[in-house]
Amino acid sequence: MLKNYLTIAIRILFRYKGYSLINISGLAIGMACAALILLYVQDELNFDTHHIKRDRIYRVLRELKSGDNSIFSYRTSGALAPAILQDIPAAEQAIRTFWFKTFVRYEDTLFDLQYCVADPEILNVFTIPFLKGDPATALQGAGTAVLTASAAARIFGRVDPIGKQLQIDGDRDGTIYTITGIISDPPTNSSLHFELLTAHVIPYFFIYWTEWRPMSQYRAIETYILLREKADPVAFQMQLAETMKRYMGDTVAENNAYHLQAMNRMHLYSAQDFGLRDHLSQDAGRPAYGDINQIYLLSIIALIVLVIACVNFINLTTSRAISRATEVGVRKVVGAHRGLLIFQFFFEIMLLTLVGSIIALALIELILPGFNAFVAKDLTLNPQRNPIPYVIGPVVVLIIGIVAGGIPAFYLSSFQPQRRGFRRIVLPL
């Protein structure tokens, strides 16, 4: 029986080529557009979720008060992280980071790299997978550094980079780094973007790394805290206020305050929570902040596009029902009951939906490289990297088939050959 239904469905598909082309292409384009938008939304919602301890990671923000206004910045004093570890037991780790772009020299060639200086404990706070080297010792020695896999390939080619040396170019200090590890490239939806990671602080920067500098408006360090299990962030923030008073004085504390920002709110909620709209580290190659309101809007747009595609599919299918009235009448006269007719028409429409979804998948693969370049993402349909579309996709296709196919199927099967109006359609006078 199913083979017979499939044969009829394919025959109908090719008999009405123009209708089939319009119906399938409209559905495929709508599904492809909605899927691309939802891939972007999924990537934004998954920002920084690859860090295993992300629920306990916080960034320290500094509030500068000026009358009734406040300006928030993630730049803090370099001495803050050591003071937190010394004075606040709820902190399991406190690390300093600083980001910039620089040139490094290998042999006679210069390479531009995204550079991050951090305390060695960064490897215990964030999830940074090692491909080569020992995470426990990679950043412990003087002048040690690790490279991302892509940076290592760009600089050293196929030569093993472990033990090789790079020199910081320019007039800063010409520090020489020994490569002790190779790490995976950070995903595009990560707030931590770097190509060279080191714990070695170059001399010109040492003052910003170690001092409070209470009278200076410029603070250079980004401070991250890993709270202990079950630690209270609110109580921790109150202790931060006492830390500021203790080390920077009451005058500074009156016009400044520290706030904790959860890592899972850094990317999408910085503008909403603290008015941080421009990421000051974009010059170091780090991604700009997203906006949760934009994500809501894009999700609604994707839903609207999908609904329009389904409504268009239903309208085109239903409008063609009149041309199949004769077939329905003849089949009912010879004994076909409504359930079989519903199943046949539903089967045909599900076939159209399946063909449309396959074409939509091909369109996505075709458009995705250009779309990635446009939105600066690395979106993929590779099931090993992103299995979610292959779990949700068939469910969505089934729902579309049921919704878009149910109405035409019931409408087509409802024709009654004994009714006078129907006889006029089948046997016009």
Q: Are 212 and 348 found together in one domain?
A: no
Q: Are 103 and 209 found together in one domain?
A: yes
Considering the chain, what is the average pLDDT of its residues?
85
Q: Are 297 and 280 found together in one domain?
A: no
Q: What is the pLDDT of residues 86-128, one digit of tens each?
A: 999 999 999 999 988 888 999 889 999 998 999 999 999 999 9
Q: Are 42 and 58 found together in one domain?
A: no
Query: Which residue type does 377 have?
Result: K
CB-based contact 47:268 (threshold 8 Å): yes
Q: Are 324 and 348 found together in one domain?
A: yes
Phi, psi of 420 (to 5 degrees): -65, -40
Q: Are 133 and 239 found together in one domain?
A: yes
- Residue 143 Rama label (left phi>0; alpha psi -120 to 50; beta): left
Query: What whole-number percentage of the chain has pLDDT above 70?
Result: 83
Match 């902190």 to its residue by tokens.
Answer: 91
**SS3 state at 92:** strand
Total tally of structural domains belonging to the chain: 2
CA-to-CA distance for 141 and 180, rounded, in angstroms?
Answer: 9
Kindly give the residue spans of alpha helices, DSSP state H, lying in 158-284.
Answer: 206-210, 233-248, 250-255, 266-274
pTM: 0.85
Q: Are 301 and 175 found together in one domain?
A: no
Q: Are 118 and 236 found together in one domain?
A: yes
Nearby residues of 212 by Cβ (< 8 Å), 6 or more positions away: 77, 78, 79, 80, 247, 248
Domain boundary among 234, 258, 284: 284
Q: Are 270 and 350 found together in one domain?
A: no
Query: Which residue type does 341 have?
Result: L
* Nearest alpha carbon to residue 193 among 321, 292, 316, 279: 279
Mean pLDDT of 332-352: 70
Q: Are 37 and 66 found together in one domain?
A: no
pLDDT given for residue 266 in this prediction = 94
Q: Are 237 and 303 found together in one domain?
A: no
Q: Are 226 and 375 found together in one domain?
A: no
Domain that holds residue 6: 2-46+292-426
Radius of gyration (C-alpha) of the chain in whole angstroms = 31
Domain boundary among 255, 284, 313: 284
Q: What is the pLDDT of residues 193-209, one digit of tens each?
A: 899 999 988 777 888 89
Query: What whole-number percentage of the chain has pLDDT above 90?
Result: 51
Domain boundary among 261, 284, 307: 284
Considering only the C-alpha atoms of the chain, give the largest distance between any 2 of them, rounded to a whole number of Å: 100
CA-to-CA distance for 138 and 25, rounded, in angstroms?
Answer: 54
- The pLDDT-based confidence of 4 (bands split at 50, 70, 90) is low
